[in-house]
Structure 1
Amino acid sequence: MGITVLGPLTVDGSGRLGPRDRVVLQAPATRLGQPVSADELIDAVWGDHPPASAAKNLQSCVVRLRKAIGSAAIETTPHGYALVVPSDHVDSRDFEARVVRARELPAVGESDRVAYLLEQALQLWRGQAFPDLPDWGPARREAGRLGELRLEAEEMHVDAAAQRTSARVLPQAHAMVRAAPLRERRWELLALAQYQTGARGEALRSLRQLRAVLSRGARDRPRSGDAGPRAVDPAAGRRPPGPHAPDRAVQCPRQGLRAYDVDDSERFFGRSAVVWSCLDLLAAQSFVALVGPSGSGKSSIMRAGVLAALRERGHRIVVITPGARPVEALSALPEDADARTVLAIDQTEEVFALCDDPDERREFLSRLAEEATRRPVILTLRGDRLAQVTEHDGFSRLVERGLHLVGALDEQALREAVTGPAQQAGLLLEPGLVDLLVREVRDDPGALPLLSHALLETRRRREGNTLTVDGYRATGGIHGAVAQSAELLYGRVETDQRPLLRDTVLRLVSPGIDGEAVRTQVSRRLFTSDPEHERLIQMLVDARLVTSDEGRLEITHEALARAGHACAAGSTTTSRANASATTSAAPPTPGTPSTAPTASSIAACG
Structure 2
Amino acid sequence: MRFGILGETRAWYDDGAEVPLGGPARRALLALLLVRPGEVVSADRLAEELDPGGAVSAHALQSQVSRLRTALGPAAAIERAGAGYRIVVAPEDVDACRFERLAREGRAALGDGDPGRAVALLREALGLWRGPAWDGLDGSETARAAAVRLEELRLGALEDRIEAELRLGEHRAAVPELRELVGRHPLRERLAGLLMRALFAEGGQAEALVVFEETRSHLAEELGADPSAELAALHRELLSVDPSPSPAAPPAQLTSFVGRDEEVAEVAELLRVARLVTLIGPGGVGKTRLSVEVAGAGAARDEVCFVELAPLRDGADLPQALLGALGLRGNGLQPQGGPTTPVDRLIAALSGRMLLLVLDNCEHVVEEAAALAARLLATCPRLRVLATSREPLGIIGEHVRQVRPLDDEAAARLFTDRAAAARRGFTADPGLVRRVCAALDDLPLAIELVAARLRTLDLDDLVGRLDDRLGVAARGSRTADGRHRTLRSVVAWSWDLLSESEQRAARRFTVFAGGASAEAALRVCGTDGETLESLADKSLLEPAGGGRYRMLETIRAYGAERLDEAGERDSARGAHARYFLELARTADPHLRGAGQLEWLRVLAAEHDNLLAALRWAIEAPDPATALELLAAASTYLWIRGAAASVAPYAITLLDALGDTAGETAGDTAGDTAGDTASDTAPDGIGEEYAVCVLLAASGSAPGRPVWRRHRAAAEQALAAAWPGDRAGRYPAALLLWLMRSASESDPRGAFALVSSQRDCPEPWARAVAWYVSGFGSLGEGDAEAGERALATAAEGFRALGDRWGTALALDVLAGLAGGRGDCARAIALTDEALALTGELGALEDSADLLVNRGDLLSGRDGHLDDRGGHLDDRGDQPDDRAAARADYASAADLARRAGSSTCLGAALRGLGDIAALEGDLDEAERLYGEALERIDPHWVKSLGNRVRTLAGLGRVAEARGAGPAARKRYREAAEAAGGPDRLHLMGLPASVVESVLEAVSRR
Same fold (TM over 0.5): no
Q: Which has the higher contact order (CA 8 A, sep 6+)?
A: 1
* TM value normalised by structure 1: 0.34
Q: TM-score, normalised by structure 2?
A: 0.21
Normalized per residue, the structure richer in helix is 2
